Structure 1
Amino acid sequence: MWSATADAAWGRGVARQLVHGVSVPVAGRLVGNGPEAWIAFDREVRRLQRFQGVHVDRLEARLCHPDGRIRAAALAAWRNPPAQLVLIRCADWVPQVRERARRVLGRVLAQYPVRTRDRARRALNRPVADDPARVLTALTPLTLRLGGREHGGWAVEQLEAALSGRYSSLAAWWRPGLPSTTWSWNSLTAGQREAMLDRLAGSADRPTRRFGTRVALDCGRYGARELARRAAAEHDPVTGRMWTDAALAALAAGGPEEGAVDALLGSRFPAVRAAGVTALRRAGRAEEADRFLADRAGSVRACARWLLRQAGGDPYAHYRALITDPGRVSGYAVTGFTEVAGREDVPLLRALLEHPAGPVRAAALAGLRKLGARVETPALLALLEDSSASAAREAALHLLPGARRLDSAALADLTGPQWRPHTRRAAFRLLCGRGGSAELRASVALLTDPDPGTRRLARDRVAAWDWLSTLDEGEAARAELGGLLARAAELLGARELRLNHSPQGLRLHETRA
């Protein structure tokens, strides 16, 4: 899986090899990694040469040297430096270095099509039409990272100009020495720009994806239907919001609505679905609002209720009909009902505690808790053993304020390995709510729980436990406390329990005695 931290570590490793005399093909080692690898390489080479006093004659090292004069000289001496390092120097803090780098960058990029040709086309000196766009696409993530520097905005401006069809130093493809009739200062063609925007808007790098989407929207390339389709397919929430806003604006401007609203409604992101529900009104389909009253997202349900009211409907009546119909009731329908219900609806929610579907029982419990309705303790204790994890969790939340009044032995029994993992976690939560020795016993016992999540919770509790306070407050017998401490130290180790040189460690043997 891609990781910016891993890329940066890789870049630093290549830099150390270079500075320490290992013959490494820098560009070959860094190409294919993220922009953080190049930035980390530049910083590490400069740091090593500055603080270790090492002088490296390799041009890559000189291009990252702490002395600006050496960096400028390297730009002048190197015929085909890596475009990424030249791009970094375009944001250099020394004016002479960055001005020279900006001139060199255009020349370096212009030579890329020739270097990437097959032999026959190289002989003809004809570039592949799509190469410039691919080169700029590959440089875009690094360009955007450098854009946050004081002098990094130049490359971003040039990139936007190239994508918008204006003249750009980054997209001026020419060949020195050839007649101007053969090669001229031309920006990317319309086809190249479209291909590049599609690649940027589909990039796995989120800043690049958002940048490509913004530029594509500024260019006004898409209609309402395509904007809605892209919003629904987008997996980045920020980019999805951009496509959604553009789709709604296009619909408001009178764009074709066929399929656009349905595409928004089919998105897996709540914000996009909510926008689609809102758009139903403009499309003359407000009667479809009731389909979304039981949506899994609260924002979508709220938009559906608003739309229903705008059309003269009553969301409360629709919800009541939903939850009283055995064939249509669902957990999200009950949740939506509790968002408009009042104290008079408590009996209806109580009746749903016997429903065969676990999500319905859980939603009913959550609704009763939200309305401040009391549920009998025996019924809640029985729900801790419910087959639904969500129902057991909601029952524990109901019981938590009065956890100190519960029988700790009965709760401890529910943490045994014979119970379901969610029952053990719910009982453990209540024991933690009680605090004291009951919580400590359960925490130590659950250090070997078969469920990883429960083990992690218990481990965190035991590692942070104040053993001396428990001893001083008489929460547990000295022998019992010593046994628990010894068991915890055996399972976690004295280091994790911070016992090596602490008062707790000094009194361990005394406590066990």
Structure 2
Amino acid sequence: MDVIRRLVLPSAQGHRHACDDLARALFGVVCDGLLAEEALDVLTTAGPTIWIELDPALRPWAYGYRDSRVAAASAVPQLSNALAVALAACSRDGREREAALRHPLMGTDVRLLPVLAIRTVDWAPAVRRHALRVMAEVLIHADAAMLRALVPVTVRLLDRQRGDSVTELVRQALLRTDDETLSAVRRCEDLRGRRFAYTVSLEAGRMDRLQLTAAALGERDIVSRTRCAEVLAAQALAGDRPELVEELLDSGSARVRVEALTALVRLGRTAAGERFLADEASLMRLTAQWAVRRAGGDPAELYRQRLAPPAGRGARGLLAGLGDCGTRSDADLALAYLRDPRPRVRAEAVRVLRRLGARADLADLLEDPAPVVVRNVVDAIRAAGPGVPAERLWALLGEDRPRHVRQAAHRLLTGRDAWTRIRADLVLAGGRDEALVLRARADLAVWCARDAATTYQRCPDELRAHLLDLLARAEHAVGEGTAHTLRWVLGTRA
């Protein structure tokens, strides 16, 4: 049992060797009734994929192959317990699989329903037809527990060639069940199963306003949450009922907020747009700008007014909004925020300057203590073209600098000519920072594989001597093959 518990998780994740070992362990406990029940309970808690992965492992992979450790246990032919029924239903012999499907436990034990679902897509027509008949009988009186066990498995079987039939049976069962049971299935732990239950519920109109609002505000699955918001928005538009979506404006999901605000604007309620001009979600911010324009306002002017005095909370969203609809003349507003104490605000100010096409000296920010700021500064400098003197970048590459500063200098130096790139790589490769050593080694390997043969620029004599010296010190880090290629290139480019 300890082996079974240890192997369940890797088996559910699709590790074939773990599945093979788990299959042997199951055959080892199936003859003991108590252990067989315990093992089946463990499998049931492993999620909907465990039987899908275990099914092929219960049969020898090569025709005629027999593993003594997976020999048919005496309890399996006798079908003396639920685990034995499940193992027999996964047998290589189609007659044994069909016999297992006739066992009463196959239609009454919830733990066996995933195996029954898998047999509905069996490659043997007789087994498949019988499994579908049993499944149809089971689903006539299926309760919430049965449906919660079946839905996550059948959704995954839809990916198979013959998965349509069982999926349609389960869909019809969900439509026949009462609202309380359908709501229970929508709360199942499996994301794909929950999403399928929501799809069926929404298509059939089986969710009222309170349920739709609760799901749009609290459902963990963003797809289902957005679909519920879309239904509420459609109902609001059809019935001219803005109150249906007003509550959704406070959702933590940007997609839901966008659906709500879009519906309100189409209903003529444009006043809500100004409230979300500083939203950090781009799509919501753009929707808010559209709402302000529909109301006759100018969002760019509103951003200027709010950013002119030092903005506190919401400064990042206001800066991003200015980047959405401002002009190059607004760069001075963004420049003031390059000294803001909040790293995210400084990073946004850099992004805005880049988006507005404004030219600004950002070299000092290459030594910013926040990596997010430095990354954006590098992007802005690279977009504007070489503007930082190489001597300053070489100084920033020194080992006395923080890692993110050295990495930024490396990115800017490797974007120049080939010999500067090689020198920067060798400097990092000869250092003590393992992360930067790996970065430099990978870049050198890429250059040797892709660019070395087409680099025709002559290497200056004084630089060649320096590169060879750096290579001698970093050869252990870059590898023998890369070092050999570099020496050959440096020799032929004399």
Taking structure 1 as the reference length, the TM-score comes to 0.74
The answer to whether residue 157 in structure 2 is matched with residue 95 in structure 1 is no
CA, structure 1 residues 226+472, in 2 after alignment: closer, same or farther (shift >3 Å)? same
For residue 9 of structure 1, what is the aligned residue in structure 2?
14
**2 CA distance for matches of 1:33 and 1:327?**
51
1:99-123 per-position Cα deviation (integer Å, ceiling 9, x unaligned):
222334467789xxxxxxxxxxxxx
For residue 410 of structure 1, what is the aligned residue in structure 2?
392
The answer to whether residue 371 in structure 2 is matched with residue 371 in structure 1 is no
Counting matched residue pairs gives 453
1:399-429 per-position Cα deviation (integer Å, ceiling 9, x unaligned):
2257656433321221334434443332222
CA shift, 1:89, in A, is: 1.0
Q: Which amino acid aligns with 2:306?
A: L
Residue pairs, 1:93-172, within 5 angstroms: 93-105=123-135, 132-165=143-176
CA, structure 1 residues 367+210, in 2 after alignment: closer, same or farther (shift >3 Å)? same
For residue 72 of structure 2, what is the aligned residue in structure 1?
57
1:464-492 per-position Cα deviation (integer Å, ceiling 9, x unaligned):
34297689953785665455445545346
Contact 2:426 2:440 in 1 (8 A): yes
For residue 394 of structure 1, what is the aligned residue in structure 2?
376
Contact 1:392 1:426 in 2 (8 A): yes
For residue 210 of structure 1, what is the aligned residue in structure 2?
195
For residue 172 of structure 1, what is the aligned residue in structure 2?
none
What is the Cα-based RMSD across aligned positions, in Å?
A: 4.0
The answer to whether residue 283 in structure 2 is matched with residue 299 in structure 1 is yes
Q: Which amino acid aligns with 1:80?
A: L
**2 CA distance for matches of 1:451 and 1:4?**
36
Aligned counterpart in structure 2 of residue 331 of structure 1, from 305, 309, 316: 316
The answer to whether residue 418 in structure 2 is matched with residue 432 in structure 1 is no
**2 CA distance for matches of 1:503 and 1:452?**
22
**1 CA distance for matches of 2:40 and 2:413?**
58
Aligned counterpart in structure 1 of residue 366 of structure 2, from 384, 388, 393: 384
CA, structure 1 residues 455+265, in 2 after alignment: closer, same or farther (shift >3 Å)? farther
CA shift, 1:37, in A, is: 2.3
CA shift, 1:210, in A, is: 1.0
CA shift, 1:295, in A, is: 0.8
CA, structure 1 residues 11+29, in 2 after alignment: closer, same or farther (shift >3 Å)? farther
Q: Which amino acid aligns with 1:151?
A: R
1:73-128 per-position Cα deviation (integer Å, ceiling 9, x unaligned):
4434x553533222211111322111222334467789xxxxxxxxxxxxxxxxxx
Q: Which amino acid aligns with 1:132?
A: D
CA shift, 1:441, in A, is: 3.9
Contact 2:114 2:149 in 1 (8 A): no
Q: Which moved more, 1:362-371 or 1:30-39?
A: 362-371
CA, structure 1 residues 340+144, in 2 after alignment: closer, same or farther (shift >3 Å)? same
The answer to whether residue 330 in structure 2 is matched with residue 345 in structure 1 is yes
For residue 310 of structure 1, what is the aligned residue in structure 2?
294
Q: Which moved more, 1:24-33 or 1:316-325?
A: 24-33
Contact 1:294 1:332 in 2 (8 A): yes
Q: Which moved more, 1:293-302 or 1:53-62?
A: 53-62
**1 CA distance for matches of 2:277 and 2:435?**
34
SS in 1 for 2:409: helix
**1 CA distance for matches of 2:63 and 2:272?**
68
Contact 1:86 1:105 in 2 (8 A): yes
CA, structure 1 residues 33+325, in 2 after alignment: closer, same or farther (shift >3 Å)? same
CA shift, 1:7, in A, is: 1.2
Contact 2:249 2:261 in 1 (8 A): yes
CA, structure 1 residues 435+73, in 2 after alignment: closer, same or farther (shift >3 Å)? farther
Q: Which moved more, 1:239-248 or 1:278-287?
A: 278-287
CA, structure 1 residues 503+413, in 2 after alignment: closer, same or farther (shift >3 Å)? closer
**1 CA distance for matches of 2:325 and 2:207?**
40
For residue 35 of structure 1, what is the aligned residue in structure 2?
48
Aligned counterpart in structure 2 of residue 464 of structure 1, from 446, 464, 472: 446
Contact 1:225 1:256 in 2 (8 A): no
Aligned counterpart in structure 2 of residue 272 of structure 1, from 234, 242, 256: 256
Q: Which amino acid aligns with 1:71?
A: R
Q: Which amino acid aligns with 2:280?
A: R
CA shift, 1:308, in A, is: 1.4
Q: Which amino acid aligns with 2:183?
A: D
Q: Which amino acid aligns with 1:50?
A: Y
Contact 1:7 1:37 in 2 (8 A): yes
Residue pairs, 1:446-457, within 5 angstroms: 446=428, 457=439
CA shift, 1:159, in A, is: 1.6
Q: Which amino acid aligns with 1:94?
A: A
For residue 123 of structure 1, what is the aligned residue in structure 2?
none
SS in 1 for 2:239: coil
Identity %: 32
**2 CA distance for matches of 1:449 and 1:210?**
51
Contact 1:62 1:71 in 2 (8 A): yes
CA, structure 1 residues 505+339, in 2 after alignment: closer, same or farther (shift >3 Å)? closer
CA, structure 1 residues 440+317, in 2 after alignment: closer, same or farther (shift >3 Å)? same
Looking at secondary structure, tell me which structure has more helix per residue. 2
Taking structure 2 as the reference length, the TM-score comes to 0.77
Unaligned runs of 5+ in 2: 1-7, 31-38, 77-85, 107-111
**2 CA distance for matches of 1:437 and 1:505?**
11
CA shift, 1:327, in A, is: 3.7
**2 CA distance for matches of 1:64 and 1:103?**
18
**1 CA distance for matches of 2:139 and 2:175?**
19
SS in 2 for 1:48: coil
The answer to whether residue 205 in structure 2 is matched with residue 220 in structure 1 is yes
Aligned counterpart in structure 2 of residue 490 of structure 1, from 458, 476, 479: 476
Q: Which amino acid aligns with 1:218?
A: E
Unaligned runs of 5+ in 1: 111-128, 166-187
Aligned counterpart in structure 1 of residue 229 of structure 2, from 235, 244, 257: 244
